[in-house]
Copies of this chain bind each other. A is one copy, B any other.
Amino acid sequence: MQIIHTVKELREWRKTAGKVAFVPTMGNLHEGHLALVREAKKRADNVVVSIFVNRLQFGQGEDFDKYPRTLQQDAGKLADEGVAVVFTPDEKELYPNVEQRYNVEPPHLQNELCGKFRPGHFRGVATVVGKLFNIVKADVACFGKKDYQQLTIIKGLVEDLNFDIEIVPVDTGRASDGLALSSRNQYLSKTERAEAPRLYRELQKAAEAVRSGSVAYLQIEKEVVRSLSEAGWTVDYVEIRHAQTLEVARAGDTELVILGAARLGNTRLIDNLEVLLS
């Protein structure tokens, strides 16, 4: 496995790499990331994993500086998975002018759901992903459904800006008690970790209500918020949306996703659940 730090070297390697699948990450890898890598492996001759903690997608007061940098452990895991290249540029390599002057600007969806609580986040994601797509020139890229809004925005920018890459959504990896795998789980205290699966359980309850035919989406959302709040969570949002467009769901929609974001102590967790009605 090669560890490559510069755009130039990566481009040189790319010339003879055949079909390439790409998994962009910020490192601090867990089983959820490795599931993306395994999906990627199935689809190409070579897998590139990028590890880059992208300042652009962190807001003020967010944890950019404290974000765990664990390159050595990450590289070990990726070598074991048969990854061809770890691309881990430093900040000067991706932002040589410090300021990113040209940005990929997503539509209003960037200011809804998680975007409402993280101004500028999805612009930062869209821009760095656009940059990485242009650098890696992969044929396929894998993104987790855990970050459902991010996945939707990536699919949108690929379609709208004509990137020649196939986006493969990968199911959310979960602990045995249902908690979605996330780098942030490591910040949970023992008590919080025991409480954390409630988010997924509540989304499941909401999904059950939807599947049983209720279109009282607002009421279903409120019920989840109430349950979580009573259990000590601070809820950012719980929303039922159209699974493809992430527009507010309307009665009659058959492809839905229920998304939630809520904080336990200082840790913000997100999760979601697709509901396909027949």
Interface residues of chain A, those whose CB is within 8 Å of chain B, are 7, 11, 97, 100-107, 126-127, 130-132, 134-135, 137, 156-157, 160-164
Q: In whole angstroms, what is the CA distance A278 to B101 when docked?
A: 29
Q: What's the minimum C-beta distance from A107 to chain B, rounded to whole angstroms?
A: 4
Partner of A161, one of B104, B137, B156: B104
The answer to whether B156 and A101 have CB atoms under 8 Å apart is yes
Q: In whole angstroms, what is the CA distance A160 to B135 when docked?
A: 11
User: What 18 new A-B contacts, CB under 8 Å, besides A97-B160, A102-B107?
Assistant: A100-B160, A101-B106, A101-B160, A102-B104, A102-B106, A102-B126, A103-B104, A103-B105, A104-B161, A105-B105, A131-B160, A131-B162, A132-B162, A134-B161, A134-B162, A134-B163, A135-B162, A135-B164
24 contacts between A and B (CB under 8 A): A7-B162, A11-B164, A97-B160, A100-B160, A101-B106, A101-B160, A102-B104, A102-B105, A102-B106, A102-B107, A102-B126, A102-B156, A102-B157, A102-B160, A102-B161, A103-B105, A104-B104, A127-B161, A130-B161, A131-B161, A131-B162, A134-B161, A134-B162, A134-B164
